[in-house]
Amino acid sequence: MNGVPRSQQSKDAKKSAPLTRDAEATRSSILDSAEDEFAANGLLGARTEAIAAKTGVTKAMIYYYFQSKEQLYEAVLERAFLRRLQIAQSINLAAMSPDQALERCLRELLIDVSKNKNLSAIFFYEAVQNKGKYYNKFGAMSLYGVLAGILEQGVAKGNFRQLDPMHTAVNIVGASVFYFCTRENIKHLWAGKNLLSSDMVEWHIKEAIELIMNGVRASDG
Amino acid sequence: MNGVPRSQQSKDAKKSAPLTRDAEATRSSILDSAEDEFAANGLLGARTEAIAAKTGVTKAMIYYYFQSKEQLYEAVLERAFLRRLQIAQSINLAAMSPDQALERCLRELLIDVSKNKNLSAIFFYEAVQNKGKYYNKFGAMSLYGVLAGILEQGVAKGNFRQLDPMHTAVNIVGASVFYFCTRENIKHLWAGKNLLSSDMVEWHIKEAIELIMNGVRASDG
DNA sequence: GTCTATAACCTGATAGAC
DNA sequence: GTCTATCAGGTTATAGAC
């Protein structure tokens, strides 16, 4: 993540101890590098050599800590999965109207996706390349359950129109993350602009929220 | 595509000619198999051996017809690209109101995506794995230009609310295709159901269209 | 805990017979 | 046009020194 090879680090090296022997730090560094690599290339395409190089350790370390590429991948996926779920769960939804809750949830999701481009790519690869094999180990309800819950309440209270909560939750996430996932294909649509600049990201967030909020609201709102 | 190894075919084999020597048919068969393989694994992950096996020919044939895996990939991408664009262009948009045009366009897109699951996966891989390198060779405006045009007209005529046509076009496609792309991850949300059954697909199409049409329409419609 | 070296395997691509 | 064989390069994973 920081690009500094561990072999060149000197951080609090106790006297003449061999350069940086910090198991927890190494493990965590490997996870960071692995997340980048898996996001770019998927489980199959990821190269352990590349992960080792980014971390600044040798390939052997990968296997020392994670036994296999597959187990490293599972560790990355679990960490990513829990991180995104926690964002949704950290919001006190009960205290808000369905309208407020949905908009708040959406904004948090969009900000998270814009900051953490890796997750969307990893989840996509997981779905297409691995057919959800690992995703479904954690599965449960994840973000979709939270969104569907809000939508269901909104329909019951009359804030939202008649809609299917689960289908709509999935379509909402699609409208939110597609821009980031497919950005390298669609960059020519905004020639000269950087799609990840804060201007463009804020614009996308605004447009996505407006599309979705108008899309679910009851017409007599 | 049909699973019958060419070596076992006997279709109109002229007398004692060596089993099926039909350049155009072989070329086309390879393209079909390649599309499946690239959709499942991307350019990097696709195996020429797998494409050859699916087609029922040997690996050497791939190189005889397409010189390299990369050129085969480009051929697949170009065919897929043109196919999708033609669907959008085959509609006589000028004759419809923005409302009708958008709904018609959406329905065609959703039906195409549901029938041709390969395209969405290929385009995704292309964006994430190849960073749009090949996509942008054809690029131009594609489907997004058509959608953005409809949206722009709708805003001008007052049918649609104030919105940015291009951002909204991208978000609309996202809401439409995400369900199919990520189906292997989200299948547990509808336990026991097949997400590609006609019931579920029709349900998704209905929900997606309602979300989007309500999302863009002016509130005083 | 970290490194070097290498085993065992897989894959894209080509040569050459038919 | 199609097949069989094979090479050259690259990848995961492990053994063993430090």
**Residues A121 and A40 sit within 8 Å (Cβ to Cβ):** yes
What DSSP string runs through B96-152?
A: S-HHHHHHHHHHHHHHHHHH-HHHHHHHHHHHHTSTTTTHHHH-SSHHHHHHHHHHH
Q: Which two three-digit tokens encode residue B128? A: 């994430």
Assign B140 a pLDDT band (cuts: 50, 70, 90): low
pLDDT at res. B74: 97
Three-state secondary structure of A132-175: CCCHHHHCCCHHHHHHHHHHHHHHHHCCECCCCHHHHHHHHHHH
**For chain B, how far is it from start to end, CA to CA, in angstroms?**
47
CA distances in angstroms from A26 to A17, A19, A31, A46, B82, listed in the order given: 16, 12, 9, 19, 48
Within 10 angstroms of residue A192's Cβ, the number of other Cβ atoms is 6
Per-residue CA distances from A76 to A42, A44, A138 (Å): 12, 14, 12
C-alpha to C-alpha distance for B179 and A173, rounded to whole angstroms = 9
Confidence of residue A18 (pLDDT cuts 50, 70, 90): very low
pLDDT in tens, A73-84: 999 999 998 888
Residue type, position B139, single letter: G
Q: Do A212 and B211 touch (CB under 8 A)?
A: yes
Chain B environment of A174 (Cβ under 8 Å): 174-179, 181-182
State the Cα–Cα distance between residues B201 and A167, nearest whole angstrom: 11
Q: How confident is the model at residue B89 (pLDDT cuts 50, 70, 90)?
A: confident
Looking at residue B217, what DSSP letter applies? B
Q: Is residue B175 a contact partner of residue B212, using CB atoms and an 8 Å limit?
A: yes
Least CB-CB distance to B182: which of A127, A136, A186? A127
> Between B21 and B8, where is the model more confident?
B21
CA A120 distance to own-chain centroid: 5
The CA distances from residue B4 to A148, B24, B129, B210, in Å, are 45, 17, 31, 42
Identify the band that residue A17 occupies on the pLDDT scale cut at 50, 70 and 90.
very low
The pLDDT assigned to A142 comes to: 83
Residue B22 has pLDDT above 90, yes or no: no
Find the closest chain B residue to A216 by CA distance: B211
Q: What is the pLDDT of residues A96-125, one digit of tens each?
A: 999 999 999 999 999 999 999 999 999 999
Strand partners, B160: B217
Task: With cut-offs at 50, 70 and 90, classify the pLDDT of residue B23.
Answer: confident
Could you tell me which CATH number the domain at B79-221 has? 1.10.357.10
Distance CA B124, CA B157 (A): 34
CA distance, residue A51 to nearest chain B CA (Å): 16
**% chain B with pLDDT above 90:** 77
- Helix (H), strand (E) counts: chain A: 11, 0
Give the model's pLDDT for residue A14. 32
Q: Burial of B81 by CB count in 10 Å (0-12 exposed, 13-18 middle, 19+ buried)? A: buried
One-letter amino acid for residue B142 of the chain: S
The answer to whether the CB of B191 falls within 8 A of the CB of A136 is no
Neighbours of B149 (CB within 10 A): 17
pLDDT number for residue B94: 87
- Look at residue A127 and give its three-state secondary structure: helix
- Stated as kind and residue range, the H or E segment containing A33 is helix A23-45
Protein residues bordering strand C (Cβ below 7 A): A 6-7, 18, 20-23, 26, 56-61, 64; B 46-49, 59-60, 63, 67-70
Q: Mean pLDDT, chain A, as a whole number?
A: 89
Paired with B217 in beta bridges are B160
Residue A172 has pLDDT above 90, yes or no: yes
Considering only CA atoms, name the residue closest to the C1' of nucleotide C2: A61
**pLDDT per residue as tens digits for the range A2-15:** 333 444 443 333 32
**Average confidence (pLDDT) over B19-40:** 90
Average pLDDT over residues B100-118: 96
* pLDDT at position A141: 58
Domain A81-216: which CATH class? mainly alpha
What is the residue-wise DSSP string for B29-44? Answer: HHHHHHHHHHHHHHHH
CB contact under 8 A, A175 and B179: no
A45 neighbourhood in chain B, CB within 8 Å: 42, 44-45, 129
Residue whose Cα is closest to the C1' of C3: A58
Closest by alpha carbon to B205, among B93, B115, B106, B123?
A: B106
What are A32's strand-pairing partners? Answer: none
State the Cα–Cα distance between residues A205 and A209, nearest whole angstrom: 6
Which pLDDT does position A10 carry in this prediction?
39
Pick the more confident residue, A19 or A155: A155
Domain boundaries, chain A: 81-216
Distance CA B145, CA B140 (A): 9
Closest to B77 (Cα-Cα) out of B29, B123, B133, B141:
B123
Q: Residue B33: name the closest of B8, B9, B66 by CA.
A: B66
| Per-residue model confidence as pLDDT tens digits over A35-94 | 999 999 999 999 999 999 999 999 999 999 999 999 999 999 999 988 888 888 888 888
Identify the pLDDT of residue B87. 83
pLDDT above 70: percentage of residues in chain B: 89
Q: Check if B138 contacts A (Cβ < 8 Å).
A: no
Q: How far is CA B135 from the centre of its chain?
A: 13
Query: What's the pLDDT score for residue A23?
Result: 84
CATH of domain B1-67: 1.10.10.60
Q: pLDDT (tens digit, 9 = 90+) per residue, B164-204?
A: 999 999 999 999 999 999 999 999 999 999 999 999 999 99
A48, closest nucleotide (Cα–C1'): D12
pLDDT at residue B211 greater than cutoff 90: yes
- The span from the CA of B217 to the CA of A94, in Å, is 30
Cα gap A177→A108, rounded to integer Å: 12
Gap from A60 CA to C7 C1', Å: 14
Q: Which of A170, A184, A211 comes nearest B178 by C-beta?
A: A170
For residues B86-101, give the mean pLDDT: 90
Which residues are bridge partners to A160 per DSSP?
A217
Average model confidence (pLDDT) across chain B: 89
pLDDT at A217 over 80: yes
User: What is the model's pLDDT at position A221?
Assistant: 53
| CB-closest option in B174, B184, B219 to A175 | B174
